[in-house]
Structure 1
């Protein structure tokens, strides 16, 4: 299937590791120009340079998405470097699971407002696009109560509500908005590798909850994200795609 991504222009936050990196790589492989950011500028620039070897325009920069001015400046620079924007993928999370006030603030500023501000900054270009698409990365923790039921789960649930509202509000402008809710996803340097090494009991309990007997790979999540972002999903508005290997049991209507 031709996803229709060749020649389009995408911005991916948190694009140097895990799910974000897999999304950026997949988009570039499909012929999409990609701008990506990370809090580590050197990693973002190196990743962009590597993706450029696929024959597409790229841009990488160091950005903390909780910094409103910095995120807006990055979005403007990305649009200028790529000649516009068609696709916006909000992927960054503070991974805040504590119940202290600082964790709630980090989750709000990074997960929720990092997405809202990214979308707002990108809208002038999305409104000019003929294939405009927004994908926010939520989580199965936004659907059910688990060990991350504090700020992380709360703001992931809020992202689904926010994005579905966008889908309705922006549909007349032909700007699509959807979310993807990954289940537990394992990759080197990721949170589940850290839990595996630091809290093997929790890791074993989490692994046992999945009837497939394993966790997702970043590429498996990226495949769903890239499809939703692409013109091939041109009539998909306001959906929440769960990719979790049957981990969750709640019914989506």
Structure 2
């Protein structure tokens, strides 16, 4: 299937590793021009090297997403370099795992606000696209008990609500907004690889709760995201797509 991504432009925040890195590579392989940013220059440079063989335009920069002006400036710079923006996704995330003021503030500054600021900055460019797509990244921690009382789960639930509201507000402008809700995802440079190697009891307990008997592979999730973001999925907006191997037990109405 031709997803219609060739020549499209994607701006990806926090795509220097993990799921974001997988999505950047998948989109580039489909011929989509890609802009990425991340906190670490070495990681950004590594992803750039992986993308360049695809023959697409790549723009990249290391930045601190907790700086209020950094993400909006990058979005505008990236749209200028790529010639617009058809797809916007923010992958930045943090999970201190503690129900404290500092924990809440960390997630707001690292995860929620970079997403909101990026969407706002991308809006003038998305409005000019004939296939504009916003994807917000949530987590099954928002819908299933996971690691007790902590702000990460609550704020990821807020992401679902935010994406749904965006979809209603922007549909008339031809801009789609959907939410992706992954369960545990295995990427070679992601948190679950660390958990597997250093927190074996917790890893095995989580694995035992996944009916498929394995974690979602990062490439599998990236292909799902690429499809949802693409013009091939042009009628879908306001959806919450759960990708978790059956980890979530609720009926997905």
- TM more than 0.5: yes
Q: In angstroms, what is the RMSD of aligned CA positions?
A: 1.2
* Paired positions, count: 253
2:13 aligned with 1:13, yes or no?
yes
* C-alpha displacement of 1:149: 4.5
Asked if the contact 1:35/1:48 (under 8 Å) is kept, the reply is no
Shift of 1:148: 5.8
Q: How many angstroms does 1:46 deviate by?
A: 3.5
Partner of 1:45: 45
**How far did 1:225 drift?**
0.7
| 1:80 equivalent in alignment to 2:80 | yes
Alignment of 1:62-73 (within 5 A): 62-73=62-73
Q: Is the contact between residue 9 and residue 33 of structure 1 (CA under 8 Å) also seen in structure 2?
A: yes
Mapped pair 1:137 → 2:137: yes
Structure 2 regions of 5+ residues with no counterpart?
Answer: none
How is 1:74-153 mapped onto 2 (pairs within 5 angstroms)? 74-147=74-147, 149-153=149-153
Match in the other structure for 1:208: 208
Deviation of 1:95 (Å):
2.2
TM-score, length-scaled by structure 1: 0.96
Change (3 A) 1:250 1:197: same
When the two structures are superposed, what TM-score results if normalisation uses the length of structure 2? 0.96
Cα deviation, residue 16, structure 1: 2.0
What is the match of residue 55 of structure 1? 55
Are 2:253 and 1:245 aligned? no
Classify the secondary structure of the residue corresponding to 1:95: coil
Q: Does the 8 A contact of 2:17 with 2:43 survive in 1?
A: no
**Aligned 1:182-201 pairs, distance under 5 A:** 182-201=182-201
Structure 2 contact 135–180 (Cα < 8 Å) conserved: yes
Question: Shift of residue 200 of structure 1?
Answer: 1.4
CA contact (8 A) 1:35 1:58 kept: yes
- Post-superposition CA distance 1:158-178 (Å, at most 9, x none): 111001100000000000000
Q: Is the 8 A contact 1:45 1:59 kept in 2?
A: no
Quote how far apart the aligned CAs of 1:96 are: 2.9
Q: Which blocks of at least 5 consecutive residues in structure 1 are unaligned?
A: none
Aligned structure 1 segments of 4 or more residues deviating by more than 4 angstroms: none
Contact 2:25–2:50 (Cα < 8 Å) also in 1:
no
Secondary structure of 1:20's aligned partner:
helix
Q: Is the 8 A contact 1:89 1:134 kept in 2?
A: yes
Between stretches 185-194 and 155-164, larger displacement belongs to 185-194
Deviation at 1:80, TM superposition (A): 0.8
